[in-house]
């Protein structure tokens, strides 16, 4: 079932919520407009939609599906979710070869035994700190390369709480995907400077309050 993280933010997918292959999938809501952050691998899409309904929203409330990067466990469900919600797909320019062309080297689809169905991106994120309006809420897209060249993190304010969506902070890293550990370290230092109250991570869930967010990110900086 879905997990309410704070006002306006829910977890609706993940290894324990939708399918073992799924990344954590988050829903952000403002004025009945919703955005999904990532789409999972695609094997648990019906469960994701069911969890959205348990939060009190319908498929038609989903206005955007935001891609943080082009790995299959984050984009495998895009095609079906877009079809069932009518949402616009939002993705970074540097991840288009994965999302729109389905480059198997970049998606790592073979790792999961998934036949990825490429999706046309409606809104391409081309600039660092670009914003998107969701109801009364502003989502800020931060270019945080390292895991992949185009990886983004997302920052928003929810009822006075600073929420950071930092997918795959933990890695892993592979030259085949264009990983760069030096870029990743700089990205993590940038995220630390945000002093977020809540971190919604890509596979290990939610960290709060602020000192636990810092401890989590710093633990990986020490590891690598």
How high does pLDDT run on average in the chain? 96
Which conformational region is residue 78 in: left (phi greater than 0), alpha (psi within -120 to 50 degrees), or beta?
alpha
pLDDT digits (tens, 9 = 90+) for 17-69: 999 999 999 999 999 999 999 999 999 999 999 999 999 999 999 999 999 99
Please tell me the predicted confidence (pLDDT) of residue 186: 97
pTM of the model: 0.97
**Can you give the CATH number for the domain in which 120 is found?**
3.60.15.10
Mean pLDDT over 67-82 rounds to 97
Tally of domains within the chain: 1
d(C-alpha 51, C-alpha 2), whole Å: 5
Residues linked to residue 88 through DSSP beta bridges, in sequence order = 64
Please determine, for residue 167, whether its predicted confidence score (pLDDT) is greater than 90.
Answer: no
Going by C-alpha positions, the residue among 66, 50, 67 that lies closest to residue 134 is 66
Please determine, for residue 196, whether its predicted confidence score (pLDDT) is greater than 90.
Answer: yes
pLDDT digits (tens, 9 = 90+) for 114-129: 889 999 999 999 999 9
d(C-alpha 17, C-alpha 8), whole Å: 19
SS3 of 143-210: the string is ECCCCCCCCEEEEEEECCEEEEEECCCCCCCCHHHCCCHHHHHHHHHHHHHHCCCEEEECCCCEECCH
| Greatest Cα pair distance in the chain | 43
Q: For residue 48, what are the domain limits?
A: 3-223
Assess contact for 119 and 99: CB atoms under 8 A: yes
Distance between start and end Cα atoms, the chain:
34
């Amino acid at each position: 079932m879905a997990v309410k993280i704070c006002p306006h933010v829910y977890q609706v997918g993940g290894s324990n919520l939708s399918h073992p292959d799924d990344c954590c999938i988050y829903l952000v809501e403002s004025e009945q407009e919703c955005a999904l952050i990532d789409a999972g691998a695609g094997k648990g899409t019906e469960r994701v939609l069911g969890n959205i309904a348990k939060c009190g929203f319908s498929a038609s409330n989903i206005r955007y599906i935001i891609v943080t990067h082009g790995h299959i466990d984050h984009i495998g469900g895009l095609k079906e979710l877009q079809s069932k919600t009518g949402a616009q797909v939002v993705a970074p320019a540097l991840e288009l070869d994965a999302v729109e062309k389905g480059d198997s080297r970049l998606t790592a689809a073979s790792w999961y035994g998934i036949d990825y169905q490429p999706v046309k991106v409606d809104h391409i994120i081309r600039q660092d700190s670009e914003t998107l309006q969701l109801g009364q809420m502003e989502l800020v897209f931060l270019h945080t390369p390292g895991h992949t060249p185009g990886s983004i993190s997302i920052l928003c304010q929810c009822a006075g709480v600073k929420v950071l969506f930092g997918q795959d902070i933990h890695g892993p890293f592979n030259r085949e995907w264009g990983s760069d550990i030096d870029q990743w370290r700089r990205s993590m230092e940038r995220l630390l400077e945000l002093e977020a109250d809540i971190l919604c991570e890509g596979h290990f869930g939610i960290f709060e309050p602020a000192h636990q967010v810092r401890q989590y990110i710093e633990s990986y900086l020490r590891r690598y």
